[in-house]
Amino acid sequence: MNSTSIKQALLNRRMLICIFTGFASGMPLYLLISLVPAWLRSEGVGLKEIGFFALIGLPYTWKFFWSPLLDRYRLAIPGFSQFGFAGLRRGWMLATQIGLLLSIGALGFFNPNTEIWSIAWLCLLIAFLSATQDIVLDAYRRQILPDQELGLGNSIHVNAYRIAGLVPGSLSLILADSLPWQSVFMVTAAFMLVGIVMTLSITEPKSEARHPTTLNQAIVDPFKEFFSRQGVQQACLILAFMLLYKLGDSMATALATPFYLDMGFTKTEIGLIAKHAALWPMIVGGIIGGILMLKIGINRALWLFGLVQIISILGFAVLARVGEGLWLLGLVISFEYLGVGLGTAAFVAFMARSTHPAFAATQLALFTALTAVPRTVASSFTGIIVEGVGWENFFYLCTALAIPGMLLLFKVAPWNSQEKA
């Protein structure tokens, strides 16, 4: 691709849409994993209860169950049909985004000390709406991007997704030092208007005829194809690898904000230092990882970047032992999330390589759902573990849990195997 083609690919409306889809998709997730735990901890909720809040992320894990419904049925929004919102994609987009705007804004009206179950159910609703929005945004992006722009468009989407974490993970925490939580959540919810404005501005994609029309086409065929192509044993090993590769890393960062608070850092320090030290190295790591994979291939990248992930987890153990120092906080987090960016770049490439082009959307829904399991089910027990063994020993345990995924590389991505383009 020459420089003119690259410029044309970067400076078109489709790439702008990918920025908006990434921001709208990332904001609710980071609200649940960053802002809500900080809110609960600052209001005196115990680590055990906060740890169990990770279970509200289950809709991200099981979203592939209802994703065929969004491929099959149109959602007509009352009062908006005359504006073209009876289509297959935009109706679902607008419905989920309005639901997120209202439900996020409502969080601050509850008291964590007396209405913890109401907060849990509302957070579960937010997770369900967010996961549903992810399904339809992924499908829309898949339809509007030509094949040669899929890599660039999804890269822009992922980076915008991560930048969206600055709202609940940084801005909202800073505001919480001077504003009541009710106002903080209303300001945070207002950022969902970004997604709503996008939905009002775009048009329905034209290639709806290619979407599944039967349950067999939508679900059964993609599963059958994957297991027949890989073989049952190899397919199970690949799925196990997808489940375990990021396990230790996901658990280590599950209670990151409560950990920083317990180490004595203020919410402003966390907002200004910790969140930025996590975001930018992760983005840089993703870019570097993509470039390196052109040279060394996906298999070797999984090995090398996986080792960086394991070593970086130990940095949290060092911080837990020392317990102070803004420079150490920034250094440890920067290295950890550099590893996250590198590992994610190789991991996403591996998942894409494992799909069949004819069933890539459905198979990727299954694969991404599997990768959400460590962030939800396993991470829900982190609070109990921390209260039982302490922060430092907890991070040693996370390091050990990262090893089984690395061992599976011998079977699913051998170092010297010949990779197909």
DSSP for 112-142 reads TTT-HHHHHHHHHHHHHHHHHHHHHHHHHHH
pLDDT digits (tens, 9 = 90+) for 18-67: 889 999 999 999 999 889 988 998 888 888 888 887 788 888 878 878 87
Q: Which of 176, 211, 246 is the last residue of a domain?
A: 211
Write down the pLDDT at residue 209.
44
Question: Does residue 76 share a domain with residue 19?
Answer: yes
Write down the pLDDT at residue 208.
46
Running DSSP on this structure, what letter comes out for residue 87? S
Give the residue with greater pLDDT, 92 vs 281.
92
Q: Locate all alpha helices (DSSP H) within 231-325, ordered by sequence.
A: 232-244, 247-254, 256-262, 267-269, 275-322
Question: Does residue 180 share a domain with residue 99?
Answer: yes
Question: Does residue 90 share a domain with residue 37?
Answer: yes
pLDDT digits (tens, 9 = 90+) for 183-242: 999 999 999 999 999 998 888 877 544 556 666 776 777 788 888 888 889 999 999 998
Q: Which residues contact 409 (CB under 8 A, 6 or more apart)?
A: 241, 299, 302, 303, 306, 415
Write down the pLDDT at residue 114.
86
Write down the pLDDT at residue 123.
93
Q: Is the separation of the CB atoms in 70 and 218 below 8 Å?
A: no
CATH assignment at residue 156? 1.20.1250.20
Model confidence band, residue 77 (pLDDT cutoffs 50, 70, 90): low
Write down the pLDDT at residue 213.
64
pLDDT digits (tens, 9 = 90+) for 133-185: 988 887 787 777 775 566 567 667 777 888 898 899 889 989 998 899 999 99
Q: Long-range contacts made by residues 411-415, C-beta under 8 angstroms, separation at least 24?
A: 411/234, 411/237, 411/241, 412/234, 412/237, 412/238, 412/241, 413/241, 413/298, 413/299, 413/302, 413/303, 413/350, 414/299, 415/299, 415/300, 415/303
Question: Does residue 227 share a domain with residue 113?
Answer: no
Question: Does residue 220 share a domain with residue 363?
Answer: yes
Secondary structure (DSSP) of 316-330: HHHHHHH---HHHHH
Q: Is the separation of the CB atoms in 218 and 66 below 8 Å?
A: no
Question: Does residue 83 share a domain with residue 163?
Answer: yes
Q: Rounded mean pLDDT of the chain?
A: 81
Write down the pLDDT at residue 223.
81
Model confidence band, residue 421 (pLDDT cutoffs 50, 70, 90): very low
Question: Does residue 217 share a domain with residue 200?
Answer: no
Cα dist from 409 to 62, 235, 238, whole Å: 26, 13, 9
Task: Quote the number of domains for the chain.
Answer: 2
pLDDT digits (tens, 9 = 90+) for 395-408: 999 999 989 999 99
Write down the pLDDT at residue 96.
94
Q: What is the percentage of the chain residues whose pLDDT exceeds 90? A: 23
**pLDDT of 89 higher than 60:** yes
Question: Does residue 143 share a domain with residue 239?
Answer: no
Question: Does residue 323 share a domain with residue 270?
Answer: yes
**pLDDT of 306 higher than 50:** yes
Q: Is the separation of the CB atoms in 140 and 201 below 8 Å?
A: no
Q: Which of 211, 229, 261 is the last residue of a domain?
A: 211
Question: Does residue 224 share a domain with residue 202?
Answer: no
Q: Which of 211, 244, 269 is the last residue of a domain?
A: 211
Write down the pLDDT at residue 291.
65
Model confidence band, residue 387 (pLDDT cutoffs 50, 70, 90): confident
Domain that holds residue 389: 213-421
**pLDDT of 104 higher than 90:** yes
Q: What is the 3-state secondary structure (H, E, C) of 334-372?
A: HHHHHHHHHHHHHHHHHHHHCCCHHHHHHHHHHHHHHHH
Write down the pLDDT at residue 409.
93
Model confidence band, residue 419 (pLDDT cutoffs 50, 70, 90): low
Question: Does residue 115 share a domain with residue 224?
Answer: no
Coil, helix or strand at residue 245: coil
Give the residue with greater pLDDT, 375 vs 60.
60
Write down the pLDDT at residue 273.
77
Question: Does residue 248 share a domain with residue 102?
Answer: no
Write down the pLDDT at residue 1.
47
Write down the pLDDT at residue 408.
94
Write down the pLDDT at residue 8.
54
**pLDDT of 420 higher than 50:** no
**pLDDT of 253 higher than 60:** yes
